[in-house]
Amino acid sequence: DTGVSQDPRHKITKRGQNVTFRCDPISEHNRLYWYRQTLGQGPEFLTYFQNEAQLEKSRLLSDRFSAERPKGSFSTLEIQRTEQGDSAMYLCASSLSTGDSPLHFGNGTRLTVT
């Protein structure tokens, strides 16, 4: 169990640029989640995959956000035309499929949009 890994750890970009983050979940976990966390707040749900299928996407997520999980392994989160309000910590988590399985979080990617 090597844990959930995310890359990069930090990303600074200019407004209007596109960014892509990667998440490698724990290998035997078939559920993968993306959350966003801002200072002083709890993680906010963005989207969820069961294997390669994206089963739910937050209504708060604009069309500028897209996520993929090809082959049910790693996942990418892309933000197009970044805005200053996108600045946050983006957390990836994975879990098994049973209802009592905990989420294992990665260390996150901190995005700063200037």
Q: What residues line the site for other proteins (CB under 8 A)?
A: 4, 31, 35, 40-45, 48, 50, 55-56, 91, 98-100, 102-108
Question: DSSP characters for the chain?
Answer: ----EEE-SEEEE-TT--EEEEEE--TT--EEEEEEE-TTS--EEEEEEETTEEEEE-TT--TTEEEE-GGGS-EEEEE-S--GGG-EEEEEEEE-SSTTPPPEE---EEEEE-
Between 42 and 70, CB nearer to other proteins: 42
Give me the least distance between CB of 30 and other proteins, in Å please: 11
Between 25 and 106, CB nearer to other proteins: 106
Give me the least distance between CB of 41 and other proteins, in Å please: 6
Would you state the structure tokens that stand for residue 65, as one six-digit string? 């956000």
Give me the least distance between CB of 104 and other proteins, in Å please: 7
Give me the least distance between CB of 15 and other proteins, in Å please: 25
Between 74 and 105, CB nearer to other proteins: 105
Between 80 and 110, CB nearer to other proteins: 110
